[in-house]
Every structure is written in structure tokens, then in C-alpha cells.
Amino acid sequence: MAALPSARRVLIVDDERDIRTTLHAVFGSAGYECRTAPNGREAARLFETERSPLTITDLKMPVMDGLQLLQHLKARDADAAVIMLTGAADLTTAVESLKQGASDFILKPVNLDQVLLAAERALERRQLILERREHQALLETRVAEATRDLAAALGQLRETYQATLEALGSALATREVGTELHSRRVHAYSIALARAHGLADEAIDALGRGVLLHDIGKIGISDSILLKPGPLTPEEWATMRSHPEFGRQILERIPFLRDAIPVVYHHHERWDGTGYPLGLVGPAIPLGARIFALADAFDAMTFDRPYSKAIPMEAARERIREAAGTHFDPDVVATFLAMPLLVFQQARGRAEDRSPV
């Protein structure tokens, strides 16, 4: 940024000695520090070392004329104030000088009061430009600092959100053995599948929250039903099927987790409409819930459960292929089948190591 002058300085450029002398005397008596030059080339040399904030120059001069000098000064200091002195016959060139950045032009013979007034206006305008630029730079610095502070606050907020998710998940895990690891594996599978399916980052984040909390509604199911070793009665099964509704009610009270509700509430829906709680059909089921349903089934097939033995991943893929259009969204199945098994093996490993997905 150009430095503000410590005193008012003016560079007077004219090939006529009398004009230089007169202007020097007038500006000197007005409190200016003056330098003079007989032509544009000498003025350019002085400007390189002193960078006068104001230059008053004749338009027609030998060696380097006023318009060439203006271009030279502006190339080195875009904020330099330059006033052109010109005869009536040079008005067209004087107007051109304004287009190229001159602050003003004064017709010869020079009215000394007029040139002093023009100089004051030019320096005030220059000062305003410099102050505005300094203010803009200060504002940009403050905005950058505020942005960094906001980013740090958002990072802390995300950590708080994650801690809340883990606390809710742990609350469920204390009641149902294996739930936490199951949730982590299904989370890893769901995120990998969602990315492959082309979901936006925001939708993937919401899906991730929904997956980790998909069975949070089971907190509202009594242990006598939730942990019953044998088959459930029809009444008990009806109670168990109410856990998506319990989950929805819990999350509706937590604003930052409301975007997880579609997965929590609809993760037991089926593509053909035979699921619950609403019996939604096809695309009416939220996409996140459709992705979860496949990932959840894949994990259930490939890990031992009290009521079923694990099967290899390849066999599980074949069963999922067969259920496309009935249990699962055919498009999500197509994405799943196109993904290498290694992706799911690695996702499982990260989940079980408690590494970030």
C-alpha cells in the first residue's frame, strides 16, 4: 500500500523557467515542499526517488511530453495525482489525459488561485482513495480473522455433535449386545455406497447420522421384548415394530439431528411396499433409507446372528441381487454390485478398528 506523505509535496514540470519559478513560489508559500523539472524525462527521474504525491505538468514539452509523463507516473503509482497545464488548442489532448487518469487540467495562462484549488482537490481525492484502500484491507483482515474463528467454532461444534451421536449410540449398545459394532459397520458400508451412488456431501453427512442412530428408538422398547431369546408373540412383535416411531420422536426434539429422521424412521421400508412403519413404495422411500436398508442387510448376512450364521460376502451380494425390486431399490443394488468387494472389506476393517470412515 502506498505510504501517506509526511508533508505536502509537489513536482512542478514545465519547459518554461518563468512558469516553474512562479509555481514554485506560489506552492512554497502555501506550505508545499516543491521540486521542479524542465521536461518529462527529468521529472520521471525525480519521481523514481521521491514519489511526489502531486505532479503539475505542462502538456507540451520536448523530450517527454505531459501525456507520456502521465502514463509513466501512473504505471509506477496508480494513485499519483497529476494536473495538466494546457493551452486552449490542446483541449482534445487534455480531455484524453483525464481518460488516462489525470486529476484535472488547467488552461494557460494559469490562474494561480485556480491551480492551488485544483491541487487541494487532487490531494484530497488521493487521500480518500488511500484511506478507503487501507480501510478495505483492514476490513478484509478482520473478515479473514472472523472466518478463521468461525471455522474453529464450527469444528468444535462438529466435535460436540459427534460426541452426542456416540453417546446416544452407546446408550443403545448398553442394552443390546453387538449393536455398536453393527452400527459402525453399517455406517461404513452406507457411506461408501452413498459416495459411489453420487450423493452430495451434505446428504452423505445426514445419512451417516441416521445410520449411527437408526435403532435409537429401541431405547423405548422394554428389555423383556428387546432381549427375549425366543420368538416374539404378535403383540411383542407389534411393539418391536414401533421403534422407528420412537426414534423419530426422540430426534425431533434435537434440532441438529432432525436430518437423520428419514433413515431412522424409514429404514425398515421395502421397495415393494411391504415394509413398515408406513408401507412406502419405491421412490417414496427416502434415498438414504434405501441405501441403509441394503447396507444393513449386507452386514446382517455376513455376521453371525442368534438366528442365522454368517455367509461369505460374495454369497451375500448374490442374495441382494435377487432381492432387487422387492426388498431393495434396483438402482442402489446396481451401484452396490458395481463396487469391488475390497471396498466393503476395507470399510469393515476401519469400522472395527474405530478409525474414521
In terms of residues, how long is the chain? Answer: 357
Which three three-digit cell numbers place residue 123?
490531494
Tens digits of residue pLDDT in 294-344: 999 999 999 887 667 899 999 999 999 999 999 999 999 999 999 999 999
Q: Which amino acid is at 356?
A: P
Overall average pLDDT of the 68-89 stretch: 89
- Looking at 64-78, 92-106, 201-215, 241-255, which range is the least confident one? 92-106
Q: State the Rg of the chain over Cα.
A: 39
Rounded CA-CA distance 350/75 in Å is 59
Whether the per-residue pLDDT at 85 is higher than 80: the answer is yes
Query: Do the two domains 9-140 and 175-352 of this chain adopt the same fold?
Result: no
Q: What is the mean pLDDT of the chain?
A: 88
Tens digits of residue pLDDT in 335-346: 999 999 999 999
DSSP for 291-305, written as a single string: HHHHHHHHHHHTS-B
Rounded CA-CA distance 10/51 in Å is 10
Whether the per-residue pLDDT at 106 is higher than 70: the answer is yes
Overall average pLDDT of the 120-138 stretch: 91
Residues 59 and 92: beta-carbon distance below 8 Å: no
pLDDT value of residue 168? 66
**Domains of the chain by residue range:** 9-140, 175-352
- CATH among 3.40.50.2300, 3.40.50.720, 3.40.190.10, 3.40.50.10890 for 9-140: 3.40.50.2300
Exactly one of 60, 74, 99, 218 is catalytic; name it. 218
Tens digits of residue pLDDT in 38-51: 999 999 999 999 88
Grid-cell match 415394509, residue found: 275
Residues 46 and 11: beta-carbon distance below 8 Å: yes
Helical pair 179-197 and 201-212, crossing angle rounded to 10 deg: 160
Rounded CA-CA distance 123/251 in Å is 64
- CATH among 3.40.50.620, 3.40.50.720, 1.10.10.10, 1.10.3210.10 for 175-352: 1.10.3210.10
pLDDT value of residue 7? 52
Residues 13 and 36: beta-carbon distance below 8 Å: yes
Rounded CA-CA distance 202/77 in Å is 47
Q: Is residue 342 classed exposed, middle or buried when 0-12, 13-18 and 19+ CB atoms within 10 A define those classes?
A: exposed
The confidence band for 3, taking pLDDT boundaries of 50, 70 and 90, is: very low
Strands, DSSP E only, in 152-262?
Answer: none
Tens digits of residue pLDDT in 216-232: 888 888 888 888 888 88
User: Active site includes 218?
Assistant: yes
The confidence band for 166, taking pLDDT boundaries of 50, 70 and 90, is: low
